[in-house]
Amino acid sequence: MATEGKRSPTSHRTPAQIRAHGKGYQATPKQRKNRALRNAARRKMAKTHGKAAIKGKDVGHKRSLMKKGTNSKSNLRIQSRKSNRGHGTSPGGNRKRKR
């Protein structure tokens, strides 16, 4: 991966690294399918609860898509962005160890 350029303050990656990630991992069929499922979940909750109820919040899956979760209403919940992002799991689905 190329390392030239100034790193992003949020992702801590250079622009070249961000582009490479987008072309590789984010473009895989599995990730495209999961992204479509997340977008559908957001639309479903907006239709049920109203757009104002989810504005500034995330729609989270109780059982994550990574762990074979579904988009059924019983598996969805409205959460703050802070509580939904970074559950402490690694990409493989294992809990990260506390140091």
- On whether residue 10 sits in a domain, the answer given is no
- On whether residue 40 sits in a domain, the answer given is yes
pLDDT given for residue 21 in this prediction:
83
> What is the C-alpha to C-alpha distance for residues 17 and 4, in angstroms, rounded to an integer?
9
- On whether residue 19 sits in a domain, the answer given is yes
Q: Quote the pTM value.
A: 0.67
- On whether residue 57 sits in a domain, the answer given is yes
Quick: pLDDT tens for 36-94.
Answer: 999 999 999 999 999 999 999 999 999 988 888 999 999 999 999 888 886 655 555 55
Nearest to 33 by CA among 68, 80, 77, 60: 68
Question: Most distant CA pair in the chain: distance in Å?
Answer: 46
The whole domain housing 73 covers 15-81
